[in-house]
């Protein structure tokens, strides 16, 4: 299968050409064509991983130098017959506060979006984190880890490319399951920010491991709270898990379906989100089997109001009942749910 190589772009091409007194676009393109490995860190790494049929996406900063370097690299690859696109990262510039507050967050969102776009096209993804700001390279590596795609890196002085394979270490998306309402509320603010005075009381209710994903920002003299670039990386990975999980079929018992349809719209929407999150691969970690036994697990455990009971069979999820945290949930836990009480025809596919 051919790959999409998502490549961060720096200005090494312009710096190297300038040392040789080359300034015009045509001079730099000839210089690049003569020795592409020497001319640019990006071509040095790409030539070592590019395979026939692959395409390149160049992610560049919102600076004059970043745009020029990316455009020249695009022209070179097109001359080689390689499909090559450009994506500019808004806010990724030399202005320090904007770079931290918005540039890195936009970089994370954009790179994650390109990973998902390639996946929807059923293309393999490689992140080539060679060029660009050092912080870009760091967060590109983080995204490679949480999205489980390989990351390659090479320095101009190195002869060999280093490829970090998809990590076998999984990350825990349960924070975004437990506190989805808060993160959705935060992301819905303008620019993904909420006034600090408004957000701080709600953020104080989060556990420490969730609070470290937040960061204070200053805009027009006002303090705001939003996700840090690392928080954005994890949120994007969570969104990707949700998207990938949509293929997992969920079946509702007739009882569960009647319960869902009888709810008022706002509550029904909360259960719809709960059913979507049930599809996530970490469901077993946040499920529980109480003393009553049976064939179904309670989901999710913890301080969550909306609950359900489900079982997994042959890659499909079967929901026996919807309930709420409280006496009814505890009663269901004690009584348990059993396959023998539910004929197969009692379950119908939930369309979402």
Task: Please determine whether the domains at 174-245 and 250-349 fall in the same fold group of CATH.
Answer: no
- The pLDDT value given to residue 12: 93
- Sheet architecture: strand order including 347-349: 297-299, 306-313, 316-324, 250-253, 347-349
Q: Which CATH class is domain 174-245?
A: mainly alpha
Q: Which fold has domain 250-349?
A: YaeB-like fold (3.30.2310)
Domain ranges of the chain: 3-164, 174-245, 250-349
Residue 280's pLDDT is what? 87
In the chain (352 residues long), the average pLDDT of successive 10-residue segments reads 93 94 94 94 93 96 94 97 96 62 83 92 93 82 87 69 66 73 87 92 88 85 88 84 87 97 94 90 83 84 87 95 91 90 95 81
Amino acid 318: pLDDT:
97
| HSE toward the beta carbon, residue 133, CA cutoff 13 A | 21
Instruction: Give the start-end residues of each E strand in the chain.
Output: 3-8, 55-60, 84-88, 124-128, 151-153, 162-164, 193-195, 214-219, 222-227, 250-253, 297-299, 306-313, 316-324, 347-349
pLDDT of residue 170: 56
What architecture does CATH give domain 3-164?
3-Layer(aba) Sandwich (3.40)
């Amino acid at each position: 299968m051919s790959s999409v190589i998502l490549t961060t772009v720096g200005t090494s091409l312009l710096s190297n050409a300038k040392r040789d007194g080359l300034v015009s676009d045509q001079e730099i393109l000839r210089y690049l064509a003569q020795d592409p490995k020497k001319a640019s860190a990006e071509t040095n790494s790409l030539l070592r991983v590019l395979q026939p049929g692959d395409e390149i996406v160049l992610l560049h900063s919102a600076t004059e130098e970043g745009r020029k370097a990316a455009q020249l690299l695009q022209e070179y690859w097109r001359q080689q017959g390689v499909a090559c696109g450009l994506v500019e990262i808004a806010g990724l510039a030399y202005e320090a506060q904007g770079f931290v507050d918005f540039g890195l967050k936009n970089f994370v969102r954009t790179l994650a979006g390109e990973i998902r776009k390639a996946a929807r096209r059923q293309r393999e993804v490689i992140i080539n984190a060679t060029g660009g700001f050092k912080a870009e390279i760091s967060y590109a590596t983080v995204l490679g880890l949480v999205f489980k795609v390989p990351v390659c890196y090479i320095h101009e002085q190195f002869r060999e490319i280093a490829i970090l394979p998809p990590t076998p270490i999984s990350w825990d998306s349960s924070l975004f399951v437990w506190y989805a309402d808060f993160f959705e509320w935060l992301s819905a603010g303008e620019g993904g920010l909420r006034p600090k005075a408004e957000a701080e009381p709600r953020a104080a209710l989060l556990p420490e491991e969730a609070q470290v994903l937040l960061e204070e920002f200053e805009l027009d003299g006002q303090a705001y709270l939003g996700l840090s670039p690392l928080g954005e990386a994890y949120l994007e990975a969570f969104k990707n898990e949700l998207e990938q999980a949509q293929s997992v079929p969920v079946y509702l018992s007739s009882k569960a379906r009647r319960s869902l349809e009888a709810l008022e719209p706002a509550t029904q929407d909360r259960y719809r989100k709960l059913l979507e999150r049930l599809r996530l691969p970490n469901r077993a970690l946040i499920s529980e089997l109480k003393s009553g036994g049976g064939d179904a697990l309670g989901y999710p455990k913890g301080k969550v109001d909306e609950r359900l009971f489900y079982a997994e069979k042959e890659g499909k999820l079967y929901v026996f009942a919807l309930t709420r945290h409280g006496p009814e949930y505890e009663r269901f836990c004690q009584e348990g749910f059993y396959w023998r009480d539910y004929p197969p025809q009692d379950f119908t596919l939930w369309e979402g």
